[in-house]
Structure 1
Amino acid sequence: MTGTDDPQGEHYFTARPASAAQRRTVRVPLAGQDVEVETAGGVFSPDHVDLGTQVLLRTVPQPPAAGDLLDLGCGWGPLALTLALTSPDARVWAVDVNERALDLVRRNAAHLGLPNVVAALPDDVPDDVRFATCWSNPPVRIGKPALHDLLRRWLPRVAPGGDAWLVVGKNLGADPLQRWLTDEADLPTTREASAKGFRVLRVAP
């Protein structure tokens, strides 16, 4: 899924995993560490941790130490890998529609020794799983109706007492999205930070 820092304005969807020739290795900061990950073209922000995700990571509190945690629209995995590095006793669901992205998440989790990461297509997540938290740089460029459907599907699955953290570009509709979440989706939402053209929203279902 595409995040909110996409200079090409594209929604990435790649059915095939990247070949060895297509994959490349980059070093990125995650969970206070400088780590090596694999990325490839055909996924969002393949060469670095995008600015929106950086803003989110600087804002969110420490994730729960246990339970099921969700990265919705995981891409190559910066949020999912951070969750897994920070909470090794939790199960981290990295969810995306892009098979190439999921393959990269699996490779990166294996390389970093993170057996607690489960990279899955949306329909492969069991219906009874409830999440202690959700971190997401959601795919706003898929359009408002599709984005609303996506959030209506996943945010109510946050467990009582849990929350979801979303980063959305101000110029890509962060403020109207906050109003829609609170007023129409009945998902109370507050703005927790605003930086570098992005809003960080906390949803407490």
Structure 2
Amino acid sequence: MGEHYFANRPETASKPRSVDLVLPDLHLRLETDRGMFSPDRIDLGTRILLETVPPPPATGTLLDLGCGYGPIALTMATRSPQASVLGVDVNERALAAATRNATAAGLDNVRFCLAGEADPGLRFEAIWSNPPIRIGKAALHDLLLTWLPRLTPAGTAHLVVQKHLGSDSLQRWLNDQGFPTRRLASRSAYRILAVSARTEGQIS
């Protein structure tokens, strides 16, 4: 396998291109490049997430965890223009593309940064994510345990995970960690998991 899309600074030669994100309520042309996740098309899991989840909260701070070149964050920003949207990733090339895509779309309520540069005091009314399953189970668990506790008490995270990549075991693990998790939808071998914030007294 070639260089992973979760490299911090991809060494793959740049070859910019664009893809179209077409949903019932929006149409965005997005710049992509080699060395990032799904540069040739909107990933099917991402599309299923965006077509399935309920509308994001109208206000507050919303998070796209593992934002890539920005399709999820830009959809959140379009659907909730009064909210503040943050997209985080480890891939600097993807973050630069996402920032340009926000500018091209005229969206000024969204920003992108490296995951380690996000304000640790931020709390999120919603988290949407097509999480990087291929980083490995231990790293994925660490990632989720870093960000899911930042949900507000009424906040919900929506994750899209392929069944054959462990969606059902991830659902059980999340419940075991004290995050009430249910399957919101199942389509084309993908599961949409709705994850509620921990309540006081749950496992930590």
TM-score (norm 1): 0.90
Q: Flag structure 1 segments of 5+ consecutive residues without an equivalent.
A: 1-7
* Residue-by-residue CA offset, 1:144-163 (whole Å, 9 max, x unaligned): 00000000000010101110
Q: Flag structure 2 segments of 5+ consecutive residues without an equivalent.
A: 198-204
**Distance of 1:17 and 1:143 partners within structure 2:** 21
| 1:138 alignment partner in structure 2 | 131
| 1:4 alignment partner in structure 2 | none
Q: Give the Å deviation of 1:39.
A: 0.6
| 2:73 alignment partner in structure 1 | 80
**Distance of 1:39 and 1:18 partners within structure 2:** 13
Are 1:15 and 2:9 matched, yes or no?
A: yes
Quick one: which amino acid aligns to residue 27 of structure 2? D
Q: Give the Å deviation of 1:34.
A: 2.2
* Residue-by-residue CA offset, 1:145-200 (whole Å, 9 max, x unaligned): 000000000001010111000000000000000000001x1111001111101111
Q: Per chain length, whose mean CA-contact separation is higher, i.e. which structure has more relative contact order (CA < 8 Å, sep 6+)?
A: 1
Are 1:64 and 2:49 matched, yes or no?
A: no
Quick one: which amino acid aligns to residue 172 of structure 2? R
Q: Do the aligned residues in 2 keep the contact of 1:14 with 1:42 (CA within 8 Å)?
A: no
Quick one: which amino acid aligns to residue 182 of structure 1? N
Within 5 A, what are the aligned runs for 1:128-167? 128-167=121-160
| 1:194 alignment partner in structure 2 | 186
For the residue of structure 2 that corresponds to 1:176, the secondary structure is: helix
After the TM superposition, which parts of structure 1 deviate over 6 Å for at least 4 consecutive aligned residues?
none
Are 1:116 and 2:133 matched, yes or no?
A: no
Q: Give the Å deviation of 1:48.
A: 1.6
Q: CA RMSD in A?
A: 1.9
What count of residue pairs does the alignment treat as equivalent? 196
Q: Give the Å deviation of 1:11.
A: 3.2
> Quick one: which of 118, 124, 141 aligns to 1:125?
118
Q: Do the aligned residues in 1 keep the contact of 2:88 with 2:115 (CA within 8 Å)?
A: yes
> Quick one: which of 39, 54, 71 aligns to 1:46?
39
* Residue-by-residue CA offset, 1:35-63 (whole Å, 9 max, x unaligned): 22111111111122111111111211000
Are 1:203 and 2:195 matched, yes or no?
A: yes
* Residue-by-residue CA offset, 1:6-51 (whole Å, 9 max, x unaligned): xx697312516999x7222232215622222111111111122111
Q: Do the aligned residues in 1 keep the contact of 2:62 with 2:124 (CA within 8 Å)?
A: yes
**Distance of 2:145 and 2:57 partners within structure 1:** 23
**Distance of 2:175 and 2:8 partners within structure 1:** 33
Quick one: which amino acid aligns to residue 9 of structure 2? A
**Distance of 1:102 and 1:11 partners within structure 2:** 15
For the residue of structure 1 that corresponds to 2:153, the secondary structure is: strand
